[in-house]
Chain A
Amino acid sequence: MLTNIFYVWSDSPALSLAIWLVICITLLYAGRPHGHQLLRSTGRAIYTSLRLASASIRQLEERVKERNRDVLLAMGREASEKAVEREFHRINAIVERDLSQYPSLHRKLADTLQKIQDDYHEASGEVLLPPAWSEVMDTIASLPTSGDPAVVKILENIQDAVENSHQQSFKAYQKNANERHKILNSMQPEWRTLNSTMSKVQNMLTGLEERSKIIDRHMADYESLRKAEDKAVNSLTASSLTQFFIASLVLVIAAFGGIINFHLIALPMSEMVGGASYIGSVRTSDVAALVIIMMEITMGLFLLEALQITRLFPVIGSLDDKMRKRIAIAAFTILVIFASIEASLAYMRDLLALDREALAQSLAGATVAEAQFRWIPSIGQLVLGFILPFALAFVGIPLESFVHSLRTVLGLLLLGFLRTLRVLIRTTGGMANHLSKMLVSFYDLLIMIPLSIERAVKWHRENSTQNARLEASELDAEDESAPVGPKKRKATSRRSRTVDDVADDLPFNVQEA
């Protein structure tokens, strides 16, 4: 069909091709303004609409960014409040534990001080000072005797009497000094008691001081969060991402633990619920095993929630202490029951596996071998069946971190997606615009021959017009000596605009074209 159309003008392919080319080029030349308008308007329309879409995505991106920031700040504030609350609880505990004994400590301190004071007063009584006696003795010895025996004797008697008195007073002084030393010696343990009591007080005050410093730090963080500072937001984002990866890792580990737990109880569960029934395409025994594991995890969540380790369920957290304690006891009891069931199931699994193995050996025609130390894996499975539920019960802690950090991570991912989409849309719009320009140029390239002719004709026409004007102006100059400068400049400028039009003009509508 197409071949027939091609050869409609002539049987010669070259001639047909030439005719078709001429027709096409003529048609393209005739439709040049409309072609240009079509290409440019399409390019512009795509560019404008994509730019509009990009702007709306940018708005959405800003909203998501704002929302992420709000979520982060709210989470940070909540965490700071919790931290401050915890520190106050610790201070309360310190005060209750240590400072509640302070009155008795104070009484002890006062008693010790009183005793020390009394002892001091006792030790600070008047003391006979022996040095005065020696001076009296020296004075008596230096008195002139004048050789009178009676005087000498009197003086000797006086000296003896003084000497005796001195000895007595010295002994009394020594005794007194010994007693004071004893008193001072007895003060030593009191000083030690005083020292240790003061150390205790110092320790208490130091602990409180450290706590108060931590509270100050938390309050500074809280203040920074309240002011919504960028530093705090960045810090929270990094912290949230770290939390997300750590929590994910722990959850993956927990998932593996859950899979092992599942395989431990799935087979023996078929003894309870039957091995031939199905729910959908899944065995009922498998579903039952999964349900038991899920129930264990749920009980673990409730237990952690009741102990206020996690805060996934505000309803439990808002209950009074007595009710929470009851819930914790109930959850722990159910968990223990489940763990016991699992331990028995795990043991049963071992027995079933043993039986199955024996049957398989019997069907294969082999003699059933008596396995040695078979009790070790049996006990191992029993213990594993009891331990795993408790291990899985702690999954609530990483789960809470995961849920909290997931919101931030999802927000960041959404933000990244929107940003990428915006860049792609902007790039596509720009490319569409440039492509339309390229197509316009290509269009002109296809019809370059008629365009060259058109340009040549225009140039020739303008030259003739210019020459006519020059001739006319020369005649006028001869006649009236009129200036010709401005007219020349005008002609030049018009010519240059014509060249520009040919080179770069991309018309938007038919009139412009």
Chain B
Amino acid sequence: MKTHSLFFLKSYNIVMVLAALAVLLLHGCGAPPDNRRAAFILIDISGDYASELQQARTLSNYLLANLNSGDSLAIAFIDNSSFTERNVIAQATFDHRPSVASQQKRLFQSQVDGFLDKFRVPSHHSDITGGILLASDYLHEMEAGQKHLFILSDLHEDLPPWLDREVKANLDSVHVVAVNVKRQRGDNNNPREYQERLAGWQQRVEEGGGHWMLVNDMARLERAWQ
């Protein structure tokens, strides 16, 4: 009789433990958050900013080191007309296998290095809006949980006369990070111009549904990425 009661108690304990585990499992099986990330880098190759292209290499390497399997990364340059496929230097969605993802990262790095090494002539104009539109399309197409747009530019838009860029970019839930916004000679004479330029872009981004952030120091990129 005692043995039976002991067996019953033991079975009861095991059942209780299993029930607790099941509850924990069910609790953990809620709607899974989308942990995939997508990043797009825009490099301004116009005029004075062309000398800052090494920053693009640093930024792309930083992102390659931080992105994992399932994440997406693309890099494009801003020139006279940026809303075209030819502006895209490299793009990749990393494979779910880490070993394959590493190979993709190497390929991506070599493509960026190849572009930067071959670059010689800066563009006359800078179509930043076209680049943002291109990035917006790419980021929304990826359907990632987190979307980041890094703009390496002085944010001085100089559109050619034939381009119409009166289009509102859809930057819904996109974190737009302006990196290394170089001050121009005119900004030194009138700092208000620089501030107004930054405020104008922030307004445009926020009107498009995005979040604006300025990171002039590359060492603080981690804050933007988090």
Residues of A within 8 A of B (CB): 70-71, 73-75, 77-78, 267, 270-271, 274-282, 314, 352, 355-356, 359-360, 362-365, 403, 407
**Closest Cβ neighbor of B64 among chain A residues:** A363
> Do B96 and A270 touch across chains, with their CB atoms under 8 A apart?
yes
**Which of B13, B64, B69, B109 is within 8 Å of A276, CB to CB?**
B69
The answer to whether A275 and B3 touch (CB under 8 A), given A270-B69, A359-B106, is no
Is B184 at the interface (CB under 8 A from chain A)? Answer: no
Q: Shortest Cβ distance from B116 into chain A, in angstroms? A: 13
Contact in complex: A275, B97 (CB < 8 Å):
yes
Question: How does the 8 Å CB contact mask read for B20-33 relative to A, with 1 for contact and 0 for none?
Answer: 00000000111011
Measured between beta carbons, the chain B residues less than 8 angstroms from A282 are 28
Chain B nearest Cβ from A275, distance in angstroms: 4
Task: Kindly state the separation between the CA atoms of A74 and B9 in the bound complex, as whole angstroms.
Answer: 12
* Bound CA–CA A90/B51 (angstroms): 88
Chain A residues with CB under 8 A of B195 = none
Least distance between A341 CB and chain B CB atoms (Å):
17
Q: Does B97 lie within 8 Å of A270, measured CB to CB? A: yes
Q: Does B61 contact A (CB under 8 A)?
A: yes
Q: Which of B95-134 contact A (CB under 8 A)?
A: 96-99, 101-102, 105-106, 109
Given contacts A355-B102, A365-B61, contact A276 B32 (CB under 8 A): no
- Residues A280 and B29 in contact in the complex (CB < 8 Å), given A77-B2, A314-B7: yes
- Chain B residues whose C-beta falls within 8 Å of the C-beta of A270 in the assembled complex: 69, 96-98
In the complex, chain B residues whose CB is within 8 Å of the CB of A364: 61, 65
Assess whether B2 is in contact with A70, with CB atoms less than 8 Å apart.
yes
* B163 contacts chain A at the CB level, 8 A cutoff: no
**In residues 1-54 of chain B, which contact A (Cβ within 8 Å)?**
2-3, 5-7, 9-10, 13, 28-30, 32-33, 35-36
Question: Is B209 at the interface (CB under 8 A from chain A)?
Answer: no
Contact, CB under 8 Å: B68 / A276: yes
Counting CB contacts under 8 A, is B208 at the interface? no
- How does the 8 Å CB contact mask read for B45-88 relative to A, with 1 for contact and 0 for none? 00000000000000001101100111100000000000000000
Answer whether A271 and B99 are a contact pair too, CB < 8 Å, given A71-B6, A359-B106.
yes
Least CB separation from B60: chain A residue: A363
Question: Which positions 118-171 of chain B face chain A at CB distance < 8 Å?
Answer: none
In Å, the complex CA distance between A274 and B71 comes to 12
* CB-defined contacts of B64 to chain A, threshold 8 Å: 363
Known: A364-B61, A365-B61. 10 other contacts (CB 8 A): A74-B2, A74-B6, A270-B97, A271-B97, A275-B96, A280-B30, A314-B7, A359-B106, A363-B64, A363-B109
